[in-house]
């Protein structure tokens, strides 16, 4: 089985985000967000194990029925519920990052980084100061 990978450009992502916002504003399409799956995941031994998350197999049952049957609550997304988020910068060793400064435009500043920890958790670090071009997080 071959796996196709595609890279989404920044422009494409921004365009799609704007399309989504416009659809919500015009109220021609309804979008909802919901919380589901209140029961623990179960591992191969039948034991509760929240690290044994099942990846959906794209079947109708996995993608449509199970999530809807387990919905706890939901909310229709309105225009005021949408916020754009910032660009991702992964940690690169021996890189000098910009210092955080709330008095300047930060849109294109690399003042924060994301790392993937030992337990596959994401960590975000902000560069507070860059004295003598050293990296302080």
pLDDT band at 90 (very low <50, low <70, confident <90, very high): very high
- 24-78 confidence digits (pLDDT tens): 888 778 899 999 888 888 888 889 888 877 777 889 988 889 888 989 999 999 9
At 18, give phi and psi (nearest 5°).
-65, -40
| pLDDT the model gives residue 106 | 74
pTM surpassing 0.75?
A: no
| Residue 103: its H or E element | none
CA pseudo-torsion sign 20, 25, 26, 29: positive
Q: 96: how many CB neighbours lie within 10 A of its CB?
A: 11
Where do the domains of the chain lie?
10-81, 86-137
d(Cα 137, Cα 33) in Å, to the nearest integer? 34
């Amino acid at each position: 089985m071959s796996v196709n990978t595609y890279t989404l450009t920044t422009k494409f992502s921004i365009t799609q985000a704007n399309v989504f916002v416009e659809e919500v504003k015009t109220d021609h399409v309804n979008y909802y967000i919901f919380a589901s799956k209140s029961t623990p995941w179960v591992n191969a031994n039948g034991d509760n194990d929240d690290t044994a998350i099942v990846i959906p197999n794209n079947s109708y049952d996995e993608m449509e029925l199970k999530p809807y049957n387990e919905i706890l609550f939901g909310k229709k997304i309105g225009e005021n519920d949408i916020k754009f988020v910032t660009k991702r910068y992964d940690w690169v060793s021996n890189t000098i990052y910009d210092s955080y400064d709330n008095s300047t435009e930060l849109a294109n500043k690399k003042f924060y980084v994301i790392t993937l920890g030992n337990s596959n958790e994401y960590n975000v670090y902000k560069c507070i100061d860059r004295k003598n071009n050293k990296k302080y997080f």
